Amino acid sequence: MNGQQTAAADPYFPANGDSRYRVHRYEIALEYRPGPNRLAGTARLSAIAGRAPLSEFHLNLAEFKIGRILVDGRAPHYTHRGGKLRVRPAKPLPAGAAFTVEVHWAGNPKPVRSPWGGLGWEELTDGALVASQPVGAPSWYPCNDRPADKASYHISVNTPSAYTVVAGGRLLTRTTKASTTTWVYEQSAPTPSYLVGLAIGMYQTVLLGDPGLGGVPQSAHVPAHLLPEFSRDFARQPAMMRLFQELFGPYPFGEYAVVVADEELDVPVEAQGLSLFGVNHVDGARGSERLVAHELAHQWFGNSVTIADWRHIWLNEGFAKYAEWLWSERSGGRTAHELAAAAHRLLASLPQDLRLADPGRKLMFDDRLYQRGGLAVHAVRRALGDAAFFRMLRDWAGVHRHGVVTTAAFTTHVARYAAEPLDDLLAAWLYEPALPPLPTPPLPPMPPARR
């Protein structure tokens, strides 16, 4: 299922995204001045109309001042209210037609409001950070803000030369003129808008692992005063990368970067080829190592294999949670079954009103979804056995690499690896609120990870 769009609006965020067209490339040029928190940008979107002629279409963009909009080089009629740009081209676009949209905007970026607080562009004490999941991307650029609409990105950022700019993808050029530097990144892999990450700050850049040995290039961008603690906390990330490639298949992107912002963050946040942490995740005692594993695992589950809409978020978070347990098991910590048993005990003491495969907007980031998602994956592992389970997992990541998936696609996929039907097991874990019994007996421990 590698299609780029579904027909209906996202049931949790119907105001975000427009399924009548899809974008296949964004070219974004930004100028950012941290002192006044001033952003000016130009975006060129290359898009394709859907199956019906397009007399108008929508983009999501926060309340910036619009300088100019062009569709195929001509000025359209447009309105901009409530975070939505409604664009009516001078002539309707034929079904299936390729077209371009150019938007110029400027203003003081700020997070967009959500049930979980501000999302998207966040001004830091000295710099800025973007963490958009699920609907924060319009806080800084115009986009078709729906996870199924994946595109490549070319991002240019001009900012004072004292600052480092980090975005997901490959750094193409860094050019300094006078007191400013322009950083240019290319993310060629299909990327949803919510996974376009950006960090601007005073960072030291260090390399992790040795890509010269055939590994994945890994870099980190860290405040200088945190480097000693960071070096211990993230020392085992290269081993995680090797393990996850063994278990999940080849790393799906060209490189991987982590940023530690010089401020506290409630939780780390994944972006495409990039993960963002706060100072509170760096303690010199590997106190957040499970989160290092969790965010890395999202590069396979969530970023490469992307959900069609937010009802299916457990496919992101359940697999990343289970990756934490697998790393623990393979690195000498508690086994996945021991961690599953602990999660089961916790969930048994909490309300059981969450349907994993469609939790509703209110519960989509509830910790119970993460724990129950990990348990559901463990139940599948227990039912299939390790050989079939890990073959299933690698094939899931491989068949749907850079694609779009649903819970139904997953259950169909799992059935191919089962010796007997798993319909009842999957229905109980995914669609019924009541907590099923813990899968037993425990599996034998896996061999340790390669150092």
Give a yes or no: residue 282 inside a domain. yes
**What pLDDT was estimated at residue 5?**
38
Same domain? 65 vs 170: yes
Same domain? 190 vs 220: no
Give a yes or no: residue 440 inside a domain. no
Same domain? 122 vs 182: yes
**Residue 447 pLDDT class (50, 70, 90 cuts):** low
Give a yes or no: residue 1 inside a domain. yes
Mean pLDDT across 366-395: 97
CA distance 84 to 7: 19
Q: What single-letter DSSP state applies at residue 261?
A: -
Give residue for tokens 């390729």: 98
Give a yes or no: residue 300 inside a domain. yes
Supply the CATH number for residue 100's domain. Answer: 2.60.40.1730
Mean pLDDT across 246-262: 97
Mean pLDDT of the chain: 95
Q: Give the residue ranges of DSSP H helices in 56-161.
A: none
Same domain? 353 vs 280: no
**What pLDDT was estimated at residue 446?**
65
User: Does 1 have pLDDT greater than 50?
Assistant: no
Sheet with 269-271, strands from edge to edge, namely 204-208, 218-222, 256-260, 274-277, 269-271
Same domain? 312 vs 244: no
Which positions make up the binding site for Zn(2+)?
294, 298, 317
CA distance 88 to 157: 29
pLDDT in tens, 105-131: 999 999 999 989 899 999 999 999 999
Supply the CATH number for residue 425's domain. Answer: 1.10.390.10
Same domain? 158 vs 235: no
CA distance 123 to 131: 11
∠ Cα 443 446 447 (to 5°): 155
**What pLDDT was estimated at residue 68?**
97
**Residue 215 pLDDT class (50, 70, 90 cuts):** confident
Q: How many domains does the chain have?
A: 3
CA distance 395 to 392: 5
User: Does 6 have pLDDT greater than 70?
Assistant: no
Same domain? 287 vs 355: no
Active site residues: 295, 370
pTM of the model: 0.94
Residues written for the chain:
451
Give a yes or no: residue 351 inside a domain. yes
Same domain? 47 vs 60: yes
**What pLDDT was estimated at residue 350?**
98
Domain C-terminal end among 289, 304, 319: 304
Domain that holds residue 213: 203-304
Which positions make up the binding site?
294, 298, 317
Smallest CA-to-CA distance from 258 within 217, 317, 215, 316 is with: 217
Give residue for tokens 């909009």: 69
Same domain? 30 vs 149: yes
Partnered with residue 182 across adjacent β-strands are: 158, 175
Same domain? 8 vs 157: yes
CA dihedral sign, ordered 156, 160, 161, 167: negative
**Percentage of residues of the chain with pLDDT beyond 90:** 92
User: Does 22 have pLDDT greater than 80?
Assistant: yes
Smallest CA-to-CA distance from 340 within 443, 450, 433 is with: 443
Give a yes or no: residue 315 inside a domain. yes
Same domain? 265 vs 403: no
Whether cis (ω within 30° of 0) applies to the bond prior to 134 is yes
User: Does 449 have pLDDT greater than 70?
Assistant: no
Same domain? 223 vs 330: no
Domain C-terminal end among 251, 279, 304: 304
pLDDT in tens, 176-200: 999 999 999 999 999 999 999 999 9
User: Does 15 have pLDDT greater than 70?
Assistant: yes
